[in-house]
Chains A and B, each alone.
Chain A
Amino acid sequence: MAAGPTPDGGAAPAAVAARGLARRFGPVTALDGLSFEVARGELFGLVGPDGAGKTTAIRALAGLVRLDGGEARVLGVRAGARELRERLGLMPQQYSLYRDLTVEENLRFFSRLYVLPRAVYRERVARLLAITRLERFTDRRADALSGGMYKKLALACALLHEPEVLLLDEPTNGVDPVSRRELWALLGEFVHGGMTVLVSTPYMDEAERCTRVALVHRGRALLQGEPSALIAQFQDEAYEVHGGDRDLLDARLAALPPVREASPAGARLKVVVARGARDEVAAALAPLGATLAPAAPDFEDLFLSSIRRAS
């Protein structure tokens, strides 16, 4: 994927530019020099463990958090500037809809906030209701919506003013796998239509769907780039473990230094092993009746071993 025009290349400024973002909250360092840049039309992912600084970064880009240092710019303009109000959309983690209002009433309320003309409102609401498949539920109160439907309504409200840049903070937390796919399909359509999307997520499969990602840890970007390129540069080796008793294997693997990560998630056991340490690990597992088979590393393997190495 093309990286897009650079801000100093004379072309249009980056959609989002975070340069050395720094912010402390009392004893907690939330952002510690976080830098990344999102080109126009990208679907960019901020990926990282709890407390990495993802939410603070998004809030800083929306102008909701004062920075101790660094600079946050959106569409070439300082974050929080008034002129961005109509060009930027934000879906925070706890999106506040009016729970006692219906789907339709919530949409109308937000359209008035953005002062949309009636005809424009009607056309946009019809389209947003169609793509979020909420048409049949316009009379339902927000507090009677399921988690996935509530998120989709929140997304529709954040999109009413057709922002050029959309920031989403963990939009699929607590959303079931089917609704999660619908939401991501929507994001894909918006990006296809020219919108720039910056999304934070704890889901590794979602990270893989981004054009580029930054892996954020302790307020800094550990890695950034295309997910497939990052996986290709992976320094360790991944294997599947066949045979053996799961509990005995877990205990043995936890005690082996070259084993960076043992992921018991899924029916099969996957291990990430330091480059060249295959024979040592295989020898240690053989008495337990287990063997190693090469496996393709995925983004979760990359995430877990990068975080482990940085901690």
Chain B
Amino acid sequence: MTAPRPAPTAGDGPAIEARELSRRFGAFLAVDRVSFEVERGEIFGYLGANGAGKSTTIRMLTGLLAPTSGTGRVAGFDVRTEPEAVKASIGYMSQKFSLYLDLPVRENLVFFGGAYGLWGKALARRADEVLALADLRDAGDVTTGDLPGGVRQRLALACAILQRPRIVFLDEPTAGVDPVARRTFWRIIRELAREGTTVFVTTHYLDEAEYCRRIGLMVDGRLVALDTPAALKATWVPERLLVARGRDLARAGERLRGLPGVQHVVRFGAALHVRVAPGGVSEEAVAAALRSAGASDVAVEGAEPSLEDVFLAVVGANGRGAEAAS
């Protein structure tokens, strides 16, 4: 019995290639001339607000939805003319993946394996492999419906990689998943990438996006930024970033908006992120202004911007008002 062969690929170009890819729904242009390439073995993050066109892009690249114009190639196959070859080459975990909740975990794998043409000992062996990879070794006999949400997401991922796809598309795989489970999930994604799998992933958790080698950012159907996390930070948050912590900061933060050089004041949990242009106020001046506005236990220090700072800057610069971010 031989192990199942890796899914087919054609040629040796990029894993994923979009050229002027567009999709219109009636009068609504959901995806507007999007172009990018994803290299083999890369973790590529695709970010954007709700309704920005991320899922529509994925549905075109997975051969589920025909582009209105433009071209997409995945694993060397054309998504418009060879959608079946595309589907055979990839794994896809959609936002609304379906598992059989009344079946044990292993039987879900057997069911999906059957759909991919796996059977017998090869399927059993592969099921063991993906259970181990997804950290579900001891869960094979558990009824799927009894699993917590985060564990169920891992089973959905296990199903998506059963056929050893060289490319996986993960659409918000960690939505609603707690921090502990998210970490486990990303350990698995990184493991897949280390083995050479190309990962195309969307998320609203921007701390996770730091794991991506490169990130594309969509606003209103257009791809408006594409680079490594470090380069995005340098480009989109060129100002000094100060982080203020303390008590009763929220209302006091309003007072900062008039200070010299202060461009944005945004809440991050209990803290404030203050973006200051060169030559603007110092840490001490920000702290003093916050104290005089009623905040206490104030500490202000410089920090590296997060990808969430980048996201807010990009979205703010491309349409939706900056006040949305406060």
Contacts and interface: CB of A to CB of B under 8 A. Distances in A.
Interface in B209-249: 210-211, 229-230, 245, 247
Contact of B250 (A170, A177, A188, A204): A188
A177 B308 contact: yes
A49 B180 CA distance: 7
22 contacts: A50-B176, A51-B148, A93-B176, A148-B49, A149-B51, A173-B175, A175-B204, A176-B49, A176-B52, A177-B308, A177-B311, A177-B312, A178-B315, A181-B266, A181-B326, A184-B267, A205-B268, A207-B269, A247-B194, A265-B207, A266-B207, A267-B304
A202 B304 contact: no
Name which of B51, B211, B266, B326 has the most chain A CB atoms within 10 A of its CB.
Answer: B51
A108 interface: no
A227 B186 CA distance: 27
Interface residues of A, number: 48
A265 B50 contact: no
Given A176-B52, A181-B324, 14 more contacts: A49-B178, A50-B149, A50-B150, A50-B181, A51-B148, A148-B50, A174-B176, A177-B312, A179-B49, A209-B267, A264-B186, A267-B229, A299-B269, A303-B179
Contacts of A178: 49, 311-312, 315, 320, 324-325
Contacts of A180: 204
Interface of B: 48-52, 95, 146, 148-151, 172, 175-183, 186, 194, 204, 206-208, 210-211, 229-230, 245, 247, 250, 266-271, 304, 306, 308, 311-312, 315, 320, 324-326
Interface in A191-236: 202, 204-209, 227-228
Contacts of B148: 49-51
A303 B178 CA distance: 10
A300 B270 CA distance: 12
In the A-B complex, list the 5 residue pairs whose CB atoms are closest, starting with the nearest: A146-B51, A208-B269, A205-B269, A146-B50, A51-B148
Given A177-B312, A299-B269, A265 B250 contact: no
Given A50-B150, A147-B50, A176-B204, A170 B176 contact: yes
A207 B326 CA distance: 17
A216 B124 CA distance: 38
A298 interface: yes
Among B180, B194, B269, find the residue whose CB has the most chain A CB atoms closer than 10 A. B269
B222 to A, nearest CB: 16
A181 B315 CA distance: 13
A296 B247 CA distance: 15
Contacts of A307: 180
A131 interface: no
B178 A206 contact: no
Given A177-B204, A179-B50, A266 B210 contact: yes
B325 A181 contact: yes
B172 to A, nearest CB: 6
A49 B229 CA distance: 28
Contacts of A247: 194
Contact of B269 (A170, A182, A267, A298): A298
Contacts of B267: 181, 184, 209
Contacts of A146: 49-51
B94 to A, nearest CB: 13
A148 B50 CA distance: 6
A202 B174 CA distance: 11
A177 B149 contact: no
Nearest to A172: B204
B299 to A, nearest CB: 8
Contacts of B208: 265
Contacts of A184: 267
